[in-house]
Structure 1
Amino acid sequence: MRAPQFWSGGGGVLPLLLSPISAVYAGATARRMARPGWQAPIPVICIGNATAGGAGKTTVALDIGRRLADHGVPPHFLLRGYGGNLKGPLLVNAGQHDSRAVGDEALLLAAEHPTIVSADRAAGAQLGIANGARAIIMDDGLQNPGLAKDLSLLVIDGTSGFGNGRVIPAGPLREPVAAAAARCQAAILVGEDECGALAQLPRDLPVLRARLSQGPEAAMLSGQSVFAFCGIGNPRKFFTSLQESGAILAGRQSYADHYPYDSGDLRELLAEAEALRAIPVTTRKDFVRIPQAFRSRITVVNVKLEWESPAQIEALLEPLLARVPETVG
């Protein structure tokens, strides 16, 4: 589904009318989060956010996975597998599972490190430990109490912030910002703070700054006419980044986040790109949801995270690295 327009701000009287339901939703989340979770014998790092939809969590998770591996700690990723129909716990197998089974994010993560999909996060962590994990990186799960976290990071998309600042359904928040921030050791701002999100955080919460940079594919598209399409949390960010890289945006098409492309969609998209005499371009996250028969005709632009101060994220990881057990009995 697409987020309602009023979640971004404004909306007249509708957010006010929905506020009583939001209060019930927030109260239910608070009661759920008051329950203690299972404490794993290995470090658990949660990459979460306060809003529904994308904020860059998977990109942050991939970066931290690489950092742990560089320190000799083999991590496992753990996530619910949003968009997939399997509940787990299961170890993702790219040769066996597609995005309809485990979701697009699970496939992106599994390309780098073992990845577990599990609605029951504690059961997923236990499967990871049995499979040799020495650290668990949760992609999302800040509002899931099933597994105790040793380090929780609040990811904020600078272009959308916390929306209108209201809780679902009156706004995009899964819980009040203060409640989410209280369970985190730091926040990560991805991009510039265009919406004043940082002003809503506790003053004593450390803020790490980062930005998304495009892979070498973007430079190859400089001066080229492209037809861009995506189904991600913030399509505008993708389209803008292509233009900033020098691509000529002849056309664009956006879909709801995690949109499940079918053959009909791809035939229409490719026909439009051909009519515009433009190169069809999408994101890596979208690419794994495209039917296999069409993938060779689509150009993918990858992204990676660039920290303003890499030493800050390393400092947060350092205490956890010291606690990684050599074996788990």
Structure 2
Amino acid sequence: MSQWLEKMFYDNDSGMPLKALSQCLRPLGALYAWGASSNLKSKRNGPNAFRSEVPVISVGNYVVGGGGKTPMVLYLAKWLRAQNKKVAVLIRGYGAQAGVQKRVMGQLDFQTRQEVGDEATLIAETLMDVPVYVGKDRVAHAKIASSDADVILLDDGLQHAAIQRDWDVVCFKGPHPIGNGRCLPAGPLREPLPAQCPPQATWAHIISNTSEAWERSDLQFTMALHHISNLNQDKLAPNTPLHLVCGVARPLAVRQSIMSAGWQVMHMRALPDHGAIHQPDLAQWLQEAQRAGCALVMTEKDGARVDEKWPEMQHIHLLRAGLNPCNHEANEAFLADIARVAGV
């Protein structure tokens, strides 16, 4: 997502030109909302949707880009694995090569990283022993995965009506979880937001601090920045000024979360979400950061788009972050629902 779109969708102080543009696009947003609602209502859990032999838990969101789906997939997969459940992850693979249909697991070489995309790489390499099925035909992968897994996590599955889900975990993020509340292209919503959370779902709000808590969510998580470290796990000193390279859907939100954690971001280079990172560019950015007396840092998702064998990676640090529940009781109730669905 470009920075001006992020501002138009999520920033109350985006300025009159962007506010006027969103207002002009409202009729198109209303038309999109009607079409999306009608289409999804007829398909969701309909007779033509595939029913897996094992439970399917989807992780998705109502808004485009940057909703915290990947951290939630990792959170759930780790918890289910700790309950001795065999997990499989199905992911479309944004940024993957066209037509790819592939099963990956563990540490990936650079060629495979390029084939399957950054999100699949991050999930596979973080979980290590959990198979990740990458490709547009998730029904075909669900049929394969259900023969070995106890439960399937369907990444970005809220609008994926071809597979019946047993539970939807819907992620919202930041101080404006639904942005300006409008549907595309006037706002960030992929479909109209229901008046309340559906019965077979959990609305999880990912926040920087408790002041951002949204009253309509079932529970909140903080996206905690655990540390900033290089490939050797050497941690960066907290007072180090940062030169941030960020190729995610909402780069401004990433920058704000880092600064909220007490770090100084002296410069940010926003890249296209899921876009390729080339070694000459990385070398140039590293030189720029070093000349400015800064450490070059990237998100873990950006780090999944490069070759760890490049010499520049010895001098680059990654943001190591993860979800922490804000309320123990709410999290226990959430996990109880997941346990019931997954047969724990």
The interval holding the TM-score normalised by the smaller chain is 0.7 to 0.9
Letter of the aligned partner of 1:60 in structure 2? M
Between 262-271 and 78-87, report the one with greater CA deviation: 262-271
1:150-299 to structure 2, matched below 5 A, reads 150-178=166-194, 181-182=197-198, 185-191=201-207, 198=214, 201=216, 207-217=218-228, 220-292=236-308, 293=310, 294-299=312-317
2:321 corresponds to which of 303, 317, 320: 303
- Tell me the residue number matched to 2:232: none
* TM-score normalised per structure 2: 0.83
> Percentage identity across aligned positions?
26
Letter in 1 for 2:136: A
Q: Does 1:315 pair with 2:336?
A: yes
Aligned position for 2:59: 47
CA change 1:30–1:194 in 2 (3 A) is farther
Aligned to 2:76, which of 51, 64, 82?
64
| Post-superposition offset of 1:41 | 1.1
**What one-letter code is carried by the residue in structure 1 that aligns with 2:342?**
L
Structure 1 residues 139 and 38: CA distance shift in structure 2, 3 A = same
After TM superposition, give the deviation of residue 168 of structure 1 in Å: 0.8
Match for residue 157 of structure 2 among 128, 135, 141: 141
Structure 1 residues 51 and 216 mapped into 2: Cα distance closer, same or farther (>3 Å)? same
Counterpart residue number, 1:327: none
Residue 42 of structure 1: how far off its partner (Å): 0.5
Residues 28-74 of structure 1, C-alpha deviations (whole Å, 9 max, x = no match)? 32233222221111010111101110111100110100111011111
Q: Deviations over 1:268-289 (max 9, x none)?
A: 3112111112211111111011
Distance change >3 Å, CA 180–CA 17, structure 1 → 2: farther
User: Are the aligned partners of 2:175 and 2:212 in contact in 1 as well (CA < 8 Å)?
Assistant: no
- The whole-number CA distance in structure 2 between the counterparts of 1:237 and 1:265 is 24
1:124 counterpart = 2:141: yes
Normalising by the residue count of structure 1, what TM-score does the alignment of the two structures yield?
0.86
In structure 2, what is the Cα distance between the partners aligned to 1:156 and 1:41? 29
- Inter-partner Cα distance in structure 2 for 1:14 and 1:215: 39
* Higher deviation after alignment, 134-143 or 15-24: 15-24
**Aligned partners of 2:221 and 2:324 also within 8 Å:** yes
Q: Structure 1 unaligned runs (5+)?
A: 325-329
1:86 and 1:194, CA in 2 relative to 1: closer, same or farther beyond 3 A? farther
Alpha-carbon contact 1:86-1:102 (below 8 Å) kept: no
* Residue identity opposite 2:323 in structure 1: L
Answer whether contact 1:189 1:210 (CA < 8 A) is retained: yes
- Residue type matched to 1:260 in 2? A
Q: Is 2:27 the counterpart of 1:20?
A: yes
Contact 2:93 2:134 in 1 (8 A): yes
Query: What is aligned with 2:109?
Result: 95
Give the Cα separation in 1 of the matches to 2:263 and 2:211: 27
Aligned mate of 1:80, from 92, 100, 113 = 92
- CA distance in 2: counterparts of 1:266 and 1:84, whole angstroms: 20
Question: Contact 1:213 / 1:303 at 8 angstroms: preserved in 2?
Answer: yes
Asked if 2 retains the 8 angstrom alpha-carbon contact of 1:44 and 1:136, the reply is: yes
Structure 1 residue 316: Cα displacement: 1.5
SS in 1 for 2:194: helix
Task: State the one-letter code of the partner of 1:302.
Answer: R
* TM superposition shift of 1:252: 2.4
Write the distance in 1 (CA, Å) between the matches of 2:321 and 2:142: 28
Greater CA drift, 83-92 or 149-158: 83-92
User: Which 5+ residue runs of structure 2 have no aligned equivalent?
Assistant: 230-234
The aligned amino acid for 1:95 is D
The number of equivalent residue pairs is: 317
Structure 1's 242 and 163: CA in aligned 2 closer, same or farther, altered over 3 A? closer
